[in-house]
Amino acid sequence: MLITLSSPAHTARLAQQLAERVRLGDCFALSGGLGAGKSTFARAFLQALAQDPTLDVPSPSFALVQPYDTPAGPVFHYDLWRLSGPEGLYELDWDEACDGIMLVEWPERAEDHLPPNALHLTLAYGEGEEERRLMLTGWDAERLEGVGV
């Protein structure tokens, strides 16, 4: 499914819509270049799950993982940019995270260790300065119905 996001606010609305559909065991794999909107999506997604629009959502770039307790369950926000290889995942509570909700930036660094039912969100620059194109793959059409509008 390809969605055109007209602004960061549109990206945040989409993140909120997906947060409403989340289940324990879900993994959201966020790909895209620097500045493509991964952090905007992650912040809005976590604020929606925590039911707190003021929740501080720092980038986990340095720590590699930032855990959150939310009403939907435990959430693990990963930034794997600095990960040297997938063998380092297990030092980051990866097994425990697979039972919770995972938000993974730079998922390609996990190689084949992502859960098989992951929703892949690939963000790319669009026409205007704020426009982004989002490709969603990995979930069936029924679960994604109404997302992005």
The pLDDT tens digits of the residues spanning 11-41 come to 999 999 999 999 999 999 999 988 788 889 9
SS3 label, residue 12: helix
pLDDT in tens, 40-74: 999 999 999 999 988 888 777 777 889 999 999 99
**What is the spatial distance between Cα 116 and Cα 129, in angstroms, rounded to a whole number?**
34
Give the pLDDT of residue 149: 61
**What is the spatial distance between Cα 113 and Cα 100, in angstroms, rounded to a whole number?**
15
Q: Which helix (H) or strand (E) holds 9?
A: helix 8-19
Determine how many CB atoms are found less than 10 A away from the CB of residue 127. Answer: 10
The pTM (predicted TM-score) of the whole model is: 0.89
